[in-house]
Amino acid sequence: MNLARFPWKLFWQFYFIQVVFYNALFIVSLGIISTYRPFGQIYFWSIVAQYLFVTLILAALISWRFTRPLHKIILKAFRVASKKFEHQNEDDEDLLDEELGEYAQIENALNRIHRKMKKRRDQLQQEREETQAFMSAVEEGIVSVSPDLRVIYFNSQFATQFLDSNQLTKVMTLADIFRYPEIHEAFLRALSEGRNFRVQVKLETKLEKNIRYFWVSVNPLRKSKSHEIYGAMGIFHDITELKKAELVRIEFVGNASHELRTPLTSIKGYVDTLKSDVQKGNFDHAAKFVDIISRNVERLTELVTDLLSISALESNAEIKIEPVNPLQVSENIVNEFAPIVRDKNQMVMVVGAQDITSFNADVRKVEQVLRNLVSNAVKYIPSGKNVQIRWEKGPNNSVILRVIDNGPGIPAEHHDRLFERFYRIDKGRSRDAGGTGLGLAIVKHIMQSHGGSVQVKSEMGKGSEFICTFPAKNVSSKS
């Protein structure tokens, strides 16, 4: 049905009103005139016929003149309301250029309405594009639903995390995506109670099968004027990394407290015993107690030093870059451990250091890396075994430090966690050997601060090898 067709109904109504009016006026006028001047019958009907013909023509012309501009106004209004009209040239749409008075004013008003509507549409389109760009750029998944939990909108991050490819083009409900009652309850309560809700859930995503933690914030959506709730929006904040960091922090605090408490408890116990013996004048075990207290103080000092070192490394403390001589650094560490190595009938060898003149790094940090690796090897391999410090040129002229031993080796299940703070393979044996559980974590952080890396290779019964790679840009080699 053409809604902009010519208004024939109005045309005929106006037409018949005119005809009736003209003829009524004619009859009244003719009656008045005939009282003063009688007409013959033939002449009378001739006048009536002529007048009727003229009034029919005149009424049609006036009706056409009245309804034709109105039809153009209606046509203009429909064109303004049409989406196709947005892309047309306004100069081609002046339908009433020849008209004057109220009709031209109406057209001008429609033109102003059209311009305002077009401007508003452009603004809405721009806002819509900006909103879509923002929604797609945020890292959180976003989904909005209607009161019946039918999905209205979702951003690309939500689709990547929770939707299959076949779900992207069909109408879905929240139940088609999630089977978790906590999420459904949060959306339903936000819709029914009209306030925000937050719930923490564990979900599997399409990116990986591991469980990830999410804070789901659900907010009701309201109409601007009536404040009627027409839907709810959920924002899925991925807090998995925060959870991991929290667990690491809790584990670190627990481990650090335990490691600090052990020597402190021992120190306090022996000090109290020694104090009691001194008061009684008994000095038979004083030397032994003092020796135990001294060892625990040294252990406590070493632990605090390692804690401060790893704290400084994690806070991105500046490193002092200068030329490092591999041979000199290796000899310093070998001399430092010479008494321990001699007592355990072990041997520490340096290989390849003379082939590399120097490379740029923090000398003290490189010594700390080598000290921690050699210390672990010397402590945990049996008597009569050997430790090798090997320096070599790596790919693209990089420098590689290898600390190799022929001890019992490290089980493969421990390799991934070996560089974690306070992680021990054998906690009892490690504490007996005097380790703090932070040595390898410090090595990892030092290598990362230099832009390098560290890894371990080990097989049970075949020994262990720790490989530290220093970036090639810091290397200066012999020709």
In the chain, the percentage of residues whose pLDDT exceeds 70 is 80
pLDDT at 450 over 80: yes
Q: Between the CA of residue 45 and those of 19, 23, 30, 40, 41, what are the distances in Å?
A: 18, 14, 11, 9, 6
Hey, what amino acid is at 299? R
CATH number at residue 411: 3.30.565.10
pLDDT at 34: 62
Per the CB < 8 A criterion, the answer to whether 73 and 102 are in contact is: no
Report the chain's C-alpha Rg in angstroms: 47
Residues 6+ apart with CB under 8 A from 313: 442, 445, 446, 449
pLDDT at 100 over 60: no
Helix, strand, coil shares of the chain, percent, nearest 5, are 60, 20, 25
pLDDT at 91: 47
Give the mean pLDDT of 153-168.
82
Handedness of CA 217, 218, 220, 224 (dihedral sign): positive
pLDDT-derived band at 430 (thresholds 50, 70, 90) equals: very low
DSSP, collapsed to helix, strand or coil, labels residue 3 as coil
Residues 174, 51 within the same domain: no
Q: How many domains does the chain have?
A: 4
**Structural domain containing residue 411:** 322-476
Residues 332, 456 within the same domain: yes
Give the mean pLDDT of 232-259.
78
Residues 308, 329 within the same domain: no
Residues 232, 252 within the same domain: no
Mean per-residue pLDDT over the chain, rounded: 79
pLDDT at 220: 92
pLDDT at 32: 67
Helices and strands, counts by H and E, the chain: 12, 13
pLDDT in tens, 297-348: 877 887 777 677 777 766 666 778 888 899 999 999 999 888 888 888 889 9
Residues 333, 455 within the same domain: yes
More confident residue, 355 or 129: 355
Last-in-domain residue among 117, 150, 172: 117
Last-in-domain residue among 257, 287, 314: 314
More confident residue, 172 or 131: 172
pLDDT at 218: 93
Residues 308, 264 within the same domain: yes
More confident residue, 393 or 42: 393
Give the mean pLDDT of 448-459.
88
CA distance 232 to 239: 22
Select the highest-mean-pLDDT range: 98-112, 222-236, 422-436: 222-236
Residues 326, 370 within the same domain: yes
Alpha carbon 329 to its chain centroid, in Å, reads 45
384 located within any domain = yes
pLDDT at 474 over 70: no
Cα–Cα nearest to 44, from 22, 67, 27, 23: 27
Residues 345, 398 within the same domain: yes
Residues 6+ apart with CB under 8 A from 154: 141, 142, 143, 144, 163
Give the mean pLDDT of 253-261.
69
Least confident of 57-71, 79-93, 262-276, 371-385: 79-93
285 located within any domain = yes
Residues 109, 72 within the same domain: yes
Residues 251, 230 within the same domain: no
